[in-house]
Amino acid sequence: MNQTLELMLSHRSIRKFTDQTVSEESVKQIIKAAQSAATSSFLQAYSIIDVRKPELRSKLKILCGDQEYVETAPLFLVFCGDVHRTKVVCDNEANKIGKNGLTTYESGWTETFIIATVDAALAGQNAMLAAESLGLGGVFIGGIRNNAQEVSDLLELPEEVYPIFGICLGYPAQDPLVKERLPESIVYSIDKYQALDEQALQAYDQRISDYYVQRTRGKMNDTWSHSISKKFASEKREHMLGFLQKRGFLKK
C-alpha cells in the first residue's frame, strides 16, 4: 500500500489539539491543495473563509452547537457554496461585449446549487487530506448550518453564498481509533444498484458497537443503524430550504 492510500485509510476525526500554531506556509499549502480539487465546468463555485478573530470564533462556537473546538482549534476554515462570484463575472462579461449572444446570470437554478455544494465538498476533502499529510488532524463541522442565517450575517456573506461546513484543524492532542466504514458489499456494486445486505449490516452494527465500547471504556454502546435512526428522528434543520431560497438558491 502506498503512502497516499495509507493516509486516506487512517483518517480519524480529531477534536482535541495542542497549542502549536499552524504556520502560514502550511495554511497556504492547505488552501492550494483545496483549490486543486476537481470542479464542475471549471466554475470553482466556492469560497473559503479562515476565521481568526477570537470574538468571531466565540460566536461561531455557539452557533455551531456549542462545539468547543470551533473556538479553540488553531485553524478554523468555513467552506461556502459561492455562485455570487459567478453572477458578478457573467454580468461583467455580458456588459463588456454588449451582450453579444450572452444572457446575464440567472439565479435560482437547482443545478447551480448542486454544483456549488459539490465543488465545496471536493475542495474540503482535499484540504483535510493536505492537512493530514502535514501532520495535522481535524474534524468537519456540519453544525455550521444549525444557524445558517446568523452565520451568514456574522461572516458577511452576500446573496448566493451559503455556509456548507467548517473544518477545525490543528496538531492532534488525541489518538482515537479509526472508525470502520460500511462494508464494501453495502456501498459498492457493479452495473446495477444492489439491495441492502442485511446480514453484512448486522455484522457491521456489532463491530461498531464493539468500537464504541472500546473507545469510551464502556460508557457508550450503540450500533450504526441505531445512531443513524436517532439522528434522523431529531436533527432535520427544517430552516434550510427557506434559508437557501432567500439567498437565491433552489427556486427552479
pLDDT digits (tens, 9 = 90+) for 222-237: 999 999 999 888 878 9
Instruction: Indicate whether 64 pLDDT > 80.
Output: yes
Supply the CATH number for residue 15's domain: 3.40.109.10
Tell whether 200 is covered by a domain. Answer: no
pLDDT given at position 216: 86
78 touches 49 (CB < 8 A): yes
Tell whether 251 is covered by a domain. Answer: no
In terms of C-beta distances under 8 Å and separation of at least 24 residues, what long-range contacts does 130-136 make, across chains too?
130/29, 130/30, 130/32, 130/33, 130/34, 131/26, 131/30, 131/167, 131/169, 132/7, 132/10, 132/11, 133/7, 134/26, 134/29, 134/30, 135/171, 136/22, 136/26, 136/75, 136/169, 136/170, 136/171, 136/172
* Range 200-226 average pLDDT: 93
Tell whether 243 is covered by a domain. Answer: no
CA gap 137, 132 in Å, rounded? 5
Residue pLDDT, tens place only, 113-152: 999 999 999 999 999 999 999 999 999 999 999 999 999 9
Among 54-63, 90-99, 177-186, 200-209, which stretch is predicted with the lowest mean pLDDT? 90-99
Instruction: Indicate whether 101 pLDDT > 80.
Output: no
244 touches 250 (CB < 8 A): yes
pLDDT given at position 215: 87
> Residue 42: pLDDT band by 50, 70, 90 thresholds?
very high
Extract the C-alpha cell encoding 217: 471504556
pLDDT given at position 235: 75
Instruction: Indicate whether 208 pLDDT > 90.
Output: yes
pLDDT > 70 in the chain, percent: 97
Tell whether 215 is covered by a domain. Answer: no
pTM of model > 0.85: yes
73 touches 17 (CB < 8 A): yes
Tell whether 216 is covered by a domain. Answer: no
Instruction: Indicate whether 240 pLDDT > 80.
Output: yes
Range list of β-strands (E), the chain: 46-50, 75-82, 137-141, 161-170
- Kindly tell me the number of DSSP H helices and DSSP E strands found in the chain: 11, 4
50 touches 34 (CB < 8 A): no
Tell whether 187 is covered by a domain. Answer: no
pLDDT given at position 103: 61
78 touches 155 (CB < 8 A): yes
In terms of C-beta distances under 8 Å and separation of at least 24 residues, what long-range contacts does 220-228 make, across chains too?
224/182, 225/201
Calculate helix-pair angle for 110-133, 24-35, nearest 10 degrees: 140
Tell whether 184 is covered by a domain. Answer: no
> In which domain, by residue range, is 98 found?
3-176
Tell whether 23 is covered by a domain. Answer: yes
Report the number of distinct structural domains present in the chain: 1
Instruction: Indicate whether 99 pLDDT > 70.
Output: no
Instruction: Indicate whether 153 pLDDT > 60.
Output: yes
